[in-house]
């Protein structure tokens, strides 16, 4: 069991550092917030007309407890959870996070008898479920973005064949692959039950949170108010999305070396810790069993996070 202890400590420190890095990136990046303000119409005119013409980028909080719905942080967690697991409960997710945090903190406090290591382990245990939810949500978003050009081409052919938009949504729900087909099925079912199509499309934008999909919905809403050839407009949007995907893949290939450097920056200290601990067990005791060693470990984790954030900012190119 003692041989697994350095691995568990390094894993907790790595997860804690990754969580801190994600938190810093979330604070630094404000592009999504600016996009939300533009699409929600907060910077423009107000009133019923502006409200009907804008896309409201917010997730309904009806399924959340009233006390948790008051917190913007809890609403953000709920939005991520709904995207990754639509049937999941926020209370169960919080209970799981708190349970893992308490278990990890108690275990490491018993083994190490150090409150700082136990605190780091508790933070890693609390962040681990959220990290898994974010990864699944991002994977789902990428799949939707990849499926969207083909979906728009399919809808374009349906409209050119003389079918209505609502019929096209039904056919897309039947023919498209998941997860995009499920979103169109929900939109069509809501519209069939009497909800206006504009509101159904806005709800889709709130659930998907994709800039490309927001372009599509904006074009549909404008066309329904002003008229025009929607099929030709869908073809232009589909071509634009394909060009953006190609450019994103090109940028990703060009910045692969920098991102790989960031991964090495995180993994190399942990690997060296394992090698040094196996060659000299006293090294592990001096690092984890003294206040000076724990201070150095905290400083090293902070520097690793700083370097990872810097490399992430350099290699991230918005397309």
Residue-wise pLDDT tens digits, 42-79: 444 333 333 333 333 344 444 555 666 667 777 777 77
**pLDDT at residue 13, rounded to an integer:** 56
User: What would you measure as the largest C-alpha separation in the chain, in angstroms?
Assistant: 78
By percentage, how much of the chain surpasses pLDDT 70?
A: 76
User: 102 and 116 in contact (C-beta within 8 Å)?
Assistant: no
Q: Is residue 233 within 8 Å of 217, Cβ to Cβ?
A: no
Q: Highest mean pLDDT: which of 28-32, 136-140, 205-209?
A: 136-140
Asked whether the predicted pLDDT for residue 286 surpasses 80, the reply is: no
pLDDT digits (tens, 9 = 90+) for 126-172: 888 888 888 888 888 888 888 899 999 999 999 888 888 888 888 99
Q: Which residue has the tokens 């006293």?
A: 282
Q: Higher confidence at residue 90 or residue 234?
A: 234
Closest alpha carbon to 176 in 147, 145, 216: 147
- Cα angle: 41, vertex 42, 45; to 5 degrees: 70
Instruction: Give the mean model confidence (pLDDT) for residues 229-240.
Output: 87
Instruction: Specify the higher pLDDT residue, 13 or 228.
Output: 228
Count of CA atoms in the C-beta half-sphere (13 A) of 298: 12
Q: How far apart are CA 182 and CA 202, in angstroms?
A: 16
Structural contact between residues 74 and 90, judged by C-beta atoms closer than 8 angstroms: yes
Query: Exposed, middle or buried, 257 (CB in 10 Å: 0-12/13-18/19+)?
Result: exposed
Residue 122 has what pLDDT? 84
- Cα–Cα distance between 41 and 316 in angstroms, integer? 28
CA dist., res. 35 & res. 215, Å (int):
12
Instruction: Round the average pLDDT of the chain to a whole number and report it.
Output: 75
Query: What number is the average pLDDT over the span 21-46?
Result: 48
Distance in angstroms (rounded) separating the CA atoms of residues 135 and 131:
6
pLDDT at 50: 36
More confident call, 224 vs 35: 224
Among 245, 22, 200, residue whose Cα is nearest residue 123: 22
Nearest CA to 19 out of 178, 110, 126, 177 is that of 126
Q: Is 210 strand, coil or helix?
A: coil
In the structure, what pLDDT confidence band is assigned to residue 203 with cuts at 50, 70 and 90?
confident
In angstroms, rounded to a whole number, what is the distance separating the alpha carbons of residues 7 and 278? 11
Percent of the chain with pLDDT over 90: 2
Specify the pLDDT at position 9.
54
Cα–Cα distance for residue pair 177/186, rounded to 1 Å: 14
E-state strands within the chain: none
Kindly report whether the global pTM for this prediction surpasses the value 0.85: no
Nearest to 69 by CA among 55, 88, 90: 90
Question: What is the pLDDT at residue 165?
Answer: 85
Burial of 256 (0-12, 13-18, 19+ CB in 10 A): exposed
Q: Which residues contact 91 (CB under 8 A, 6 or more apart)?
A: 65
Confidence at 96, pLDDT banded by 50, 70, 90: confident
For the range 275-279, what are the long-range contacts, defined as Cβ-Cβ under 8 Å and sequence gap of 24 or more?
277/6
The closest alpha carbon to 262, from 317, 304, 318, belongs to 304
CA 135 to chain centre: 7
CB 286 within 8 A of CB 280: no
Whether 40 has a pLDDT exceeding 50, the answer reads no
């Amino acid at each position: 069991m003692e041989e697994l202890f350095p691995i568990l400590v390094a894993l907790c420190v790595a997860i804690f550092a990754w969580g801190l890095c994600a938190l810093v990136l979330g604070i630094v990046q404000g592009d999504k917030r600016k996009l939300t303000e533009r699409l929600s119409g907060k910077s423009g005119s107000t009133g019923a007309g502006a409200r009907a013409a804008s896309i409201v980028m917010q997730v309904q909080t009806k399924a959340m407890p009233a006390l948790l719905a008051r917190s913007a942080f809890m609403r953000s967690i709920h939005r991520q959870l709904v995207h990754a697991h639509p049937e999941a409960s926020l209370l169960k997710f919080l209970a799981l996070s708190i349970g893992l945090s308490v278990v990890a903190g108690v275990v490491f406090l018993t083994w190490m008898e150090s409150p700082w290591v136990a605190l780091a382990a508790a933070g890693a245990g609390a962040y681990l479920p959220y990290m898994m939810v974010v990864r699944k949500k991002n994977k789902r978003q990428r799949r939707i973005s990849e499926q969207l050009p083909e979906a728009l081409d399919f809808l374009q052919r349906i409209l050119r064949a003389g079918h209505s938009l609502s019929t096209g949504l039904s056919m897309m729900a039947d023919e498209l692959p998941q997860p995009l087909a499920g979103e169109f099925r929900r939109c069509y079912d809501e519209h069939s039950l009497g909800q206006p199509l504009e509101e159904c499309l806005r709800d889709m934008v709130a659930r998907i949170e994709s800039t490309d999909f927001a372009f599509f919905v904006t074009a549909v809403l404008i066309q329904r108010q002003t008229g025009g050839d929607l099929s030709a407009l869908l073809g232009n949007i589909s071509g634009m999305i394909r060009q953006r995907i190609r450019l994103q893949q090109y940028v990703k290939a060009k910045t692969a070396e920098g991102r790989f450097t960031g991964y090495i920056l995180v993994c190399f200290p942990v690997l060296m810790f394992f090698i040094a601990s196996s060659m000299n067990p006293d090294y592990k005791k001096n690092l984890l069993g003294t206040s000076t060693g724990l201070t150095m470990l905290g400083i090293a984790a902070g520097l690793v996070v700083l370097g990872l954030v810097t490399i992430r900012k350099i290699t991230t190119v918005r397309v």
